[in-house]
Structure 1
Amino acid sequence: MSQPAIDISDTSAYQPRAAWFDGLVDCGPASIKLSLIESDPAKPIAPATIEKARALIEATGEKLAQTKHRGAGFAILHQGQEGLWLLLHWWIEGDIATQMLWRSKLSGEPHFIPAEPLLMACVWELGIIDFERRAWMETAMSGKPISDYLTRTMPRGTV
């Protein structure tokens, strides 16, 4: 049985986006490394948007505490072209990364709501996820303290 042709003519070409580490955020018993992605450097992420994201991460601490967490994780605040995305990951036993994902409209005051459950990450967010995977393997999974993982941060660059 042949698959129907998929029209990808509306798919835009890949353009690198600015990305960098913003700081640590307390999330209950864990420290979360927050990194940012901007699709348009002429429209930087508003400080109020970053603060809303930090507050949501902090408010998730109780849920994180109910898991067999390793005390660390990472988050990505992505100001894309069609919306704001907030991804929160934390490491649990077995070196598994959990995930919570929210979205918000670009216009107006940010209001993050849970994203559709089938979504995982876009191509730009996967760049940071790959960085965090490698950082975890090279620190926590190599017998080094979690504090070493937390100091391994995304350098300013592009994804």
Structure 2
Amino acid sequence: MTAPAAQPFAEKLLTVLPPVEVAGRWIKRYHVTADPAGIAPEVARAAHAVLPGLLPEPDGTPPAAFTVLHRGGDDGAYLNVYSWVWDNVLHFRGAAAGQPVLGCPDDDPTHFVPTDRPWIGCVWELPPILHERDAWVRHMLAPRAPEVPDLAAYLADSAAEGTTGGRS
């Protein structure tokens, strides 16, 4: 597999959706796309359907995760699932659709398959990770009350909507 030719960086839009419960775990959701109309509902539904198979087994850590669903500029759609495990560790699993070079069987952006690559995200998918790390520390591990993690406060604390490249 050859890497694609480098393209100049162009902003994409970051949208925050309300958390949902999936397989006993609360999931904060982010969408990334260049399309102002957002991600097509059928692509979002297909990503949601594959999500349970990408979650780790419960280990006693408060059941929380966040996803980044990214619709690329071609047929590709990418689902990154980041789950909190072992108290303070971020577990990653991903799936892709419409991208044969990543093992997808076709170019259908609703046909998600798990990927086995160790990639954690592209430049447009990474901004939520910084926010989520800080929110986890703030609400779940903060020194003022580590014995009383506040999962509800963590779930209510999402990155700001806007663009993906304007953070520094």
2:15 maps to which of 8, 15, 20 = 20
- 2:151 is equivalent to residue 146 of structure 1: yes
Aligned to 2:31: 36
Task: Tell me the TM-score normalised to structure 2 length.
Answer: 0.78
Matches within 5 A, 1:60-71: 60=53, 64-71=56-63
Measured after TM superposition, the shift of residue 119 of structure 1 is 1.7
Note if contact 1:103-1:113 (Cα within 8 Å) is conserved in structure 2.
yes
TM-score by length of 1: 0.82
**Deviation (angstroms), 1:155:** 2.3
Q: Distance in 1 between matches of 2:57 and 2:156?
A: 22
Identity %: 23
- Asked if residue 90 in structure 1 is aligned to residue 77 in structure 2, the reply is no
Q: Of residues 28, 51, 70 in structure 2, which corresponds to 1:78?
A: 70
Contact 1:75–1:86, Cα closer than 8 Å, also in 2: yes
Question: If each structure's helix is expressed as a fraction of its own residues, which one has the higher value?
Answer: 1
- What's the C-alpha RMSD, in Å, of the aligned pairs? 2.3
Cα pair 2:77 2:109 within 8 Å, conserved: no
Distance 1:73 1:151 in 2: 13
Instruction: Give the gaps of 5 or more residues in structure 1.
Output: 1-7
**Deviation for aligned residue 1:128:** 1.2
Q: Which residue of 2 aligns with 1:137?
A: 137
Q: Which runs of 5+ in 2 are unaligned?
A: 100-106
Residue 125 of structure 1 aligns to a residue whose secondary structure is coil
* Partners of 2:138 and 2:33 in 1: CA distance: 27
CA 1:133–1:93 in structure 2 vs 1: closer, same or farther (change >3 Å)? same
8 A contact 1:49–1:110 mirrored in 2: yes
Question: Following superposition of structure 1 onto structure 2, how do residues 93-132 of structure 1 map, counting pairs within 5 Å?
Answer: 93-105=86-98, 107-108=107-108, 110-132=110-132
- How many aligned positions are there? 149
Structure 1 residues 18 and 9: alpha-carbon distance in aligned structure 2, compared to 1, 3 A threshold: closer
Partners of 1:9 and 1:114 lie apart in 2 by 21
Which position in structure 2 is the counterpart of 1:157? 162
Secondary structure of 2:125's aligned partner = helix
The list of structure 1 runs, each at least 4 consecutive aligned residues, that deviate by more than 6 angstroms after superposition, is none
Matched, 1:56 2:50: yes
